[in-house]
Structure 1
Amino acid sequence: MNPISRLWELILERFHLKEFLEHPVPRYANLNPLYWFGDVAAMSFVILAITGMVLAVLYTPGVTPTYTIQTLGGSAEVSQSYYSVYKIAYLTPLGFILREIHLWAAYMMVFAAITHFFAKFVLGSYKRRGGGALWLLGVLLGVLTVTQAVLGYILPLHLDGALALQIGLNIFRYLEYFGVPVGQVVVSVLGSTFITSGIMKDIYTLHVLVVPAIILVLLGLKINGILYGGVSPPPTKNNAARERALAETEPFYPHRFALTVGQLLLQLSVLLLLVAVFPQPLLEPWLPGQPVPSGVRPPWPVEWYYTYVKAINPFISVGIPIFMVLFALIVPLIDRKGGNSLEERWVWVLIAILYMAIIGYGTVLGFLIDIPKPLTPLTRITPPPDYVVPYIGTPTPVG
């Protein structure tokens, strides 16, 4: 055996990779697309980690000092955070492509995580051995994925990012109306009720270190749980057919490994195509004390929530996402009887469709129409003088 082969065998033995590579995977999981979206989300996380490390080196968080840049309309005064992203996108070789890949990979991860959640909801994956714990990990990973995307959207400190930050701070303040005293604690930790350089540095730390570390740990626990408990059984009422499908397995290497590599290459191809066909320009900057004009939307992962805040009573609208997450966490405790076939779980399939309808309807409605509603203390954080939270419209891109 040559030295390279001996080194490879040593690595496989010391890190117990041989058991991982030989782990049996049911053949139906390799053929059914419903079982792929978790891998898409995980691979997107890897792409985000690689591109994010480079962007983190080039990015500098802060509201001050301010800089002057040239725009399509002349010139504009911008914050340090915005100028940092401006330099990455327009003054750094390949910086625009790097930022675009990071942005689209974040969108892809959010979409894949949401699709993965609904697929596992429909399949009743929490019913198998160890499935309840994996379901809880998945719900937490979904919440962290959306949180991470919104934190990253805030960092450029454009108008949309400023609005996204205020929506996040609003959620904590809303909780106080339900008797949960977290709003003042969050404000005390951040040191302000509106955007400052200190808050931007805290968000940068959360986005670059804290949240990714938590996601990585939970992702590792989930992968280990899948190795222990296996993948979700096929949604069939025929027990004999289910057992045959579970027994027909293939080793992870080379079958699932080849599928994962091909999937990763396909993801990279789609990302590059999106960057080339649908480039996302850096949006109009925001500065402290400057009124944010109407015509600003938050990032699409929270657009649905913002729509409901404007459309219905704040007590109800704030309770919707909280109730949806809490209900998702206790689903394994409620749905304990019966099988996992669609015929036996039609009520839970309807609940999954209701989840999708709530999120989808709010998102589409928010992008299509403007909902006129006066500002109230329940729909904004405590503002500086002459400053209000903006509503929906179309921001002006910077050239």
Structure 2
Amino acid sequence: MKAARVRFQRPFWFYLGPAFLVSVGYMDPGNWATSLEAGSRYGYALLWIVTLSSAIAVLMQVLAAKLGIATGMDLAQAMRARYSPPVARFLFVTAFLAMMATDLAEFMGVALALNLLFGIPLTWAVVLTVFDVLLILWLERFGFRWVEMVILAFVATIGMAYVLEIFFAHPALGAVAWNAFVPNGTVFESTTALFIAMGILGATVMPHNLYLHSAQVKTRTRGNPESKRRVFFWSVVDTVTALSAAWLVNGAILVMAAAVFHENGLLVTEIDQAYLTLKPLLGQAAALTFAIALLASGISSSTTGTLAGQVVFEGFLNVRVRNVAALRLFVRLLTMAPALVAVWFSVRPVTLLVLSQVILSMQLPFSVIPLVLFTSDRRLMGGLANPPLLRALAWISTGVIVVLNLLLLAFATLGV
């Protein structure tokens, strides 16, 4: 009987995919904005923040996947089930605000890329991003695996683009290796440095990815304890692999900015400025590669943002929408409103992008704290409850997020 059970196990590659779907959110235009400004303003000094944020992201995404596998509920459903209606409504509002901040970054990234590549005005470029909903619906006709494969292709495009960018930039590899893993005090020197560091954290550990991962991973479990453990094992492999790739891309953006802009005494605070500055410094090929990667990043991350919006609405409101197309279009129109207003009033895109990531960081505790509480509850999680060491790491990571938020508020209040 035991041999028969092993014989009919699915191959390992069946379990891979959800984390790669989620990983594009860790390479979205918000990451570009924060990493470009961090690299051009402070050189390699904030690279360790990218590493720290990525490590926290891996941990939190593993917990999100574990919640979905163990309980059969995504994070939104678990919040609705475990908390009183007023608390659940409050958490729904914070999740929706995070979705709006996320979409603001993604819309602006796509709009900027379309503007740079094809000269399309920003207002029309933002409107065009609504068509990624149609892309999802068309692909889902062939099975959700196709959505995952297309997203994986986008991830590969972004990764290859930044391999080329690093090749063009010739960074100081010793400084890169040191600053990637050794903390320094730059982040605490001013409100600006802490603001950018919070932006990196908010751009890396993103609330909507926790909701999406906890929902998407459920497609890989078959409901029995042995299957759940197997799914969880491969979900860890999936998450570590996918988010390691995202860490390399985010680090590469900062490294490129440090090597090209900071070393030449240029402070880059606009994505289109980065594109235009790359032309004389590294050539047309580098600038074109940058814009193509930005477009791939914006389209793929806005696609997964739409999927996450569906998870949040259905989970918190306890509804199963029959007309999925209408729901996704509704969510997209709601969350794209701030981006349209910002473009109409000619607000600087990078200011919006960095601010959106800080808003995400401020919202993180409302997603992360319930996630850690849920996954540490043995009555809810059974044998997949967090062991003591993992529980300690999860609370330490949560503490880092909360402390950085409090420091940012204190610095801003004191005008440091």
| TM-score of the pair, normalised by structure 2 | 0.31
Please tell me whether Structure 1 or Structure 2 has the larger radius of gyration of its CA atoms. 1
Please identify which structure carries the higher strand content: 1
Q: Provide TM-score, normalisation by structure 1.
A: 0.32
Greater relative CO (CA pairs within 8 A, separation 6+): 2
